[in-house]
Amino acid sequence: MATSLPFFRNSSELPAPLPTKQEIHDSATILKGTETWATQKVVVVGQHFLVKYGSRTSQIEGDNLLFIEQNLRIPAPRLYAMWQELDGVMYIIMEFIPGDTLESLWSNLTESNKTIIMKKLRSVFEQIRSLPSPRFYGNTNGGCLPYHLFWIAGNEKSVSGPFKSERDLLLGLAEKSRINSANNNRHSYMADFIERQLSQAFGNDHLPTFSHSDLQRKNIIVREIPSGDKNISTKETYVVSIVDWEVAGWYPSYWEYAAAFFAFKWEDDWLERVEEVIDAWGAETAMIKMVYQDLWL
């Protein structure tokens, strides 16, 4: 079930008093949404809080953070507060994770440091994969899949889910392709292909698996541990955290790799390194990439 709003964590569990709306709007540390037309802003307030807010901010990210906190022990932000104003603007206040994105660090990391970081990420994803598989493909509340390929106005279940089977999920992508084509007065031969081949070829072989669904270096925060930090074992070199859980949910087992593959730019060794973290699903990803290009590009 979705979290009842408003949600406020007990003050004894907070690192400092929650920021006010005025403090949020006055923040000069804007990580996203500097454009005048932006429908979501991401700002840092003080030393402890990161806030996402706007008309396009989704409650599902806050729900996902609570799901992670309740079911896993992985380095991810804690949810501190979440509410929605009468005008529809959602506010999500979460833990600010200090450090640098792996994207900004990657080109200057040694091979041995890359290996250390990727081993930490592998440990995180092994724990994620240990969660028991449910009997549906959908979000952590049992609702529609939050990944953008499944979005359609009105969240029609035939396209957005939740789906009882992988075949239904693939047929949902076919329906999305057919709707897109019809809106442009075209016939979707891609939808025909999905129904004729994909839904038969691997229509029920990949169990629902909890997935972050956006494994990119920009969503991995790395903090180097000073050698004199007595709060952390001196054997540790980095703290590695994963952020931006807004499209996480229960997807087919190949989805984590496929969704990461969508963003590959083929400029360096990132693809090879990702395969040290999550299992590669080459055939499934090649097929889904064609669908992605049809629906999104």
**Which tokens is 213 given?**
């669904």
- The pLDDT score that the predictor gives to residue 115 is 96
CB of 18 within 8 A of CB of 81?
Answer: yes
Give the up-direction half-sphere exposure of residue 163: CA atoms within 13 A in the CB hemisphere. 25
Give residue 275's pLDDT: 96
The answer, yes or no, to whether residue 166 has pLDDT greater than 60, is yes
Dihedral over Cα of 275, 277, 280, 286: its sign: negative
Residue 297: what pLDDT? 67
Residues 6+ apart with CB under 8 A from 297: none
Question: What are the structural domains, with CATH classification, of the chain?
Answer: 7-95 (3.30.200.20), 98-297 (3.90.1200)
Cα–Cα distance list, 219 to 145, 205, 243, 284 (Å): 20, 29, 5, 24
Give the SS3 label for residue 290: helix
Q: What single-letter amino acid sits at 209?
A: T
Q: Determine the pLDDT at residue 296.
A: 86
- DSSP-derived secondary structure letter, 55: T
- List pLDDT tens digits, range 171-219: 999 999 999 999 999 999 999 999 998 877 776 779 999 999 999 999 9
pLDDT confidence of residue 202: 73
pLDDT in tens, 3-51: 999 999 999 999 999 999 999 999 999 999 999 889 999 999 999 999 9
Q: Which SS3 state, helix, strand or coil, does residue 19 take?
A: coil
Quick: pLDDT tens for 230-288: 555 445 689 999 999 999 999 999 999 999 999 998 899 999 999 999 999 999 999 99
